[in-house]
A and B are shown apart, each in its own frame.
Chain A
Amino acid sequence: MSRLPLTTRDRELMLSRIGVDRFDDLLRPIPETARFSGLLDLPPSLAEGALARHVKELSERNVPVLSFMGAGSYEHFRPAVVDYVCGRPEFRTAYTPYQAEVSQGTLQTIYEFQTAIVELTGMEVANASMYEGGSAVAEAMLMAVSATGRSSILISEGVHPLVRRVVHTYARPNGIAVIPVPLHQGTTPDTAVRERAEGAAGLIYQEPNFFGCIENQQRLIEASHAAGGLAIASVDPLSLSVLEPPGALGADIAAGEGQALAAPVSFGGPGVGFLACTQRLIRKLPGRLVGATVDGQGRRGFVLTLQAREQHIRRQKATSNICTNQALVALGFLVTVSALGPHGLANMASQATQKAHYYQHALQKRGFPLAFDAPFLWEFTVRTGIPAATYVEGLLSRGVLPGLDLGTVSPDLAERLLVYVSEMRTREELDRTAELMGEVSHG
């Protein structure tokens, strides 16, 4: 282990300067009954080499596979420069930029991140980041409830099931009723929204939705607005390089998970949530905001601003309890979109879409039709005829994970497989996997 700097001699000098004989004298405010007298029951300490070996062995107990699983956590090409920049200690070992004069690096990158989110989502304002996508959507719900003074929210069943679970968790203690809007042929009918929208604070939908289907955003937004509610879009940031952004279509809040463009899947975290809204809602927006200003000499600089919304000032009246979030991953997001640029991002989105369609045709030929007619990008749902689990088991023995068995999400979807095709999959991998799928169905 890395050793602590204080030597025996240091300790003696320091105790004498403090004016006590023994270290334990400093602990005299702790009553004897509160003291822990034993030794914590922990595994023995490991020196650095042994530690590295041990943890590496643990990591190798995970089984690498060729994966077609997305469902909210996406493997994409990650330019090497992303980790190269994020690894800099100046970013990694600083904290929240409370002292702006010595935090301009972090502050400016956050401003640049906010700009990227504003540009991608088409919204007017974005915050410095959220923990991750699910809680960002839940906070968006709280914003809508606060802005409208209404106490129910509609949520499309096309929203990721675990995100819906988070929304329920945040809603419950606040007495907010969460009203599901069922899908029809894989997408959210605006008629179903209109039937339920009366008195609701808004509608939460996901684009593309959990099953990969592209929704008719425009009609969903109009349906929620017609009843005086807000429209909250949960979006995949890469999709926004090719799909019309929610802001351009009139949505009030856009939220989501930025992991796909920032970090490896890493067993679900850390990713980076984002939250963007219209100017009108800015004082309902939780979390940190960085703004540009000037110093006494007129030099441009950046500060945390509109802090009066936040917990350290408003305490129980704050918009949220959020303080620290995911700055370093937000930086990773910024570096990724900067390294690829608008054309590189669109190319990544387009290649993933092309490969997904190529692979979908290959599956179709082998007897796996699309479950829904709606257009899709790089994720789609197929019918498997028999339980999808059979294909997952069958292909795992060959080192391939063919997708998410939707039966694990809902028993009535047991014969559906949710397939994600990264732009990193090669034609050979796609052909081989389609073949394996065919073999299982004939095997």
Chain B
Amino acid sequence: MAEKIIYELGSPGRQSVDLPPLDVPSEDAGAMIPAGTRRVKPPMLPEIDELELIRHFVRLSVLNHHVEKGFYPLGSCTMKANPPVNEVLAALPGFALAHPWWPARLAQGSLRLMAELEAMLAEICGLSATTLQPAAGAHGELTGLMVVRAYHESHGNPRKRVIVPDSAHGTNPASASLVGYEIVEIKSDGDGLVDLAALERALDEDTAVFMLTNPNTLGLFERRICQIQQMVHAKGALLYMDGANMNALLGIVRPGDTGFDLVHLNLHKTFSTPHGGGGPGAGPLVVAEKLAPFLPVPRIVQAEDGSLRWDYDRPQSIGKVMTWWGNFGVLVRAYAYIRSRGARGLAQVSEAAILNANYLLALVQDRFDLPYPGPCMHEFVLSGDRQKKRGVRTLDMAKRLLDKGMHAPTIYFPLIVSEAMMIEPTETESRESVEEFARALLEVADEAEENPEFVHAAPHSTPVGRLDETRAARQPDLAFKRPKT
């Protein structure tokens, strides 16, 4: 039985919590809020007691799959474990109660944490300056492209075009378009890597930036990165790294060392902050020295006495991409993660992520098409073409995995692989857990051959079956309305 909508629960007059009585003399409300301004019809909000409220959310919560329940190999999303201690630290009252506009001397702890995190992320990327302001990866991309534009403008010409490979995340062209650039998409070569000839043809003096994910969305390292950076820079263009896959590179490759001028990171992927059912995340942007003047204001600077303060005096800055300074609570968790791992520990993270991915690939690769052979980095992409011939599509196999208590991989992405399954186990899964997922996937491959209809009808044991997406889109029901009585 479906859980009721919270607005269907409770009863008029119920309330979970209340405030203490007013302890100042009460004034006439009419004098304070003039008629015409005062709300006439109260909002329809839940009227519910606390136990019923808790039960509602607990009953809803158990309908979710999540990292702390089972395997979550969602490619490109890095669903690694979230260390519990970080939750405790992010909630420390000294941080939680600090107002963003406090005079700097009241907030030296928060500022110090941010300054140290900026420096650590710059070191990890081999670049020189970081802004922590962007609230998510796509927000970091947007910030990065604004920085690119401002940089070229300072040289007299904003330029016109952004080049992306056909394997790029959809956010890349969407972000580029938001800052007024045209998008040129170049095809990947037979190995799934940047086709240097296609890049050469696309590059000219109007190219603002080449946006590249490395390792790319096939889980492959762009092995000609040195030639790529030379070609891009020869035209005066910049090289941008989408850092969604940074979990493969910690302590192994520093993007700045390979010629990237700017990188956005996803702290909720690589740096272990919880995904929260879709946020909050954080998408810091890390840049080379020449781009630092364009970063959002304010910047944290150190005074002579060692204290930290905000600096707005950056005439070339793009401005602000968020009201305040960033998703601070997320930054605390990422800071704690890096401090707990240290340099060696971070390198071990990427090594284990790569080892787990290659091991999983070895366990399953005979049974699926693998358009771009490994070794892979931290993830790999299978094709369901072989199963499709039996009438079982990748969507069906994904749904069947749900029956087996696993989350599905990222499917139908990247767009250049038909029936794609993008699989990222992460380093926090044990060997046994990787093997268990491999067994589940192989079982699904067996079922696809022996009983394709059954797989096609999956899932069979989830709280709801496949939902009617056409109906949802044709007759959008996006908010509950109380039936008229």
Contact = CB atoms under 8 A, between A and B. Distances in A.
Asked whether the complex places CB atoms of A and B closer than 8 A, the reply is yes
A165 B277 contact: no
Interface stretch (A196-204, A223-231, A261-269, A363-371): A261-269
B362 A18 contact: yes
Given A104-B60, A115-B7, A354 B464 contact: no
A62 B19 contact: no
21 contacts: A17-B359, A59-B93, A61-B112, A62-B97, A102-B65, A106-B277, A109-B60, A112-B480, A119-B45, A244-B38, A266-B95, A291-B472, A293-B469, A295-B467, A305-B476, A305-B478, A311-B174, A314-B174, A327-B279, A345-B45, A426-B23
Given A135-B139, A316-B176, A112 B7 contact: yes
Interface stretch (B196-204, B340-348, B386-394, B440-448): B340-348
A323 B171 contact: yes
Interface in B450-485: 459, 462-469, 471-473, 476-480
B362 A354 contact: no
A377 to B, nearest CB: 7
B167 interface: no
Interface in B47-92: 47-48, 50, 53-54, 57-58, 60-69, 72, 74, 77, 79, 81-83, 85, 87-89, 91-92
B402 interface: yes
Contacts of A55: 89, 92, 113, 332, 335-336, 339
B207 to A, nearest CB: 16
Interface string A18-38: 111001011111110111100
Given A36-B254, A169-B319, A295-B468, A62 B54 contact: no
Interface in A194-223: 214, 216-218
A291 B478 contact: yes
B241 to A, nearest CB: 12
Given A10-B431, A320-B174, A326-B279, A265 B99 contact: yes
B206 interface: no
B397 interface: no
Contacts of B209: none
B66 A30 contact: no
Interface string B298-336: 000000000000000000001111111111111010011
A13 B359 CA distance: 9
B279 to A, nearest CB: 4
Nearest to B56: A338
B479 A306 contact: no
Interface string A42-63: 1111111001101110111111
A269 B326 contact: yes
A350 interface: yes
B382 interface: no
B477 A293 contact: yes
Contacts of B326: 268-269
B278 A106 contact: yes
Contacts of A177: none
A353 to B, nearest CB: 6
Contact of B171 (A160, A311, A353): A311
Nearest 10 A/B pairs, CB to CB: A268-B324, A45-B342, A59-B94, A328-B276, A268-B100, A61-B109, A169-B319, A134-B323, A270-B280, A90-B61
A254 interface: no
Given A59-B95, A316-B173, A29 B41 contact: no
A343 interface: yes
Nearest to A291: B472
Contacts of B479: 111, 114-115, 118-119, 125-126
Tier of interface size on chain A: 35 or more
Given A81-B17, A325-B279, A243 B37 contact: yes
Contact of B2 (A4, A300, A314, A430): A300
A414 interface: no
B384 interface: no
Contact of A81 (B3, B53, B72, B137): B53
A240 B359 contact: no
Contact of A338 (B6, B177, B363): B6
Nearest to B14: A341
A20 B141 CA distance: 37
Interface in B112-138: 112-113, 120, 123-124, 126, 135-138
Contacts of B195: none
B154 interface: no
B260 to A, nearest CB: 11
A77 B223 CA distance: 55
A119 B429 CA distance: 43
Given A6-B430, A59-B92, A81 B464 contact: no
A322 interface: yes
Contacts of A322: 136, 138-139
Contact of A104 (B17, B46, B63, B362): B63
Given A10-B431, A101-B464, A427-B23, 4 more contacts: A95-B72, A102-B402, A102-B407, A291-B473
A179 interface: no
A5 B436 CA distance: 15
A36 B252 contact: yes
A265 B342 contact: no
Nearest to A294: B468
B34 A375 contact: yes
Interface stretch (B24-32, B232-240, B285-293): B24-32
Contacts of B180: 173-175
Interface string B271-286: 0001111111100000
Query: Which of B36, B81, B171 has the most chain A CB atoms inside 10 A of its CB?
Result: B171
B149 A173 contact: yes
Contact of B323 (A5, A160, A243): A160
B120 A42 contact: yes
B19 A111 contact: no
A103 B407 CA distance: 10
A2 interface: yes
B352 A6 contact: yes
Interface string A273-317: 000000000100000111111111101111101101011111111
A14 interface: yes
Nearest to B183: A316
Contacts of A64: 93-94, 97
A105 B63 contact: yes
Contact of B278 (A46, A114, A128): A128
A358 B25 contact: yes
Given A134-B320, A267-B95, A26 B275 contact: no
Interface string B2-27: 11011100000011111100111111
Contacts of A108: 3, 5, 60, 63
B426 to A, nearest CB: 10
B100 A132 contact: no
A317 to B, nearest CB: 7
B324 A166 contact: no
A81 B359 contact: no
B39 interface: yes
Contacts of A426: 23
B423 interface: no
Nearest to B40: A244
A341 B473 contact: no
A2 B45 contact: no
A105 B17 contact: no
B5 A266 contact: no
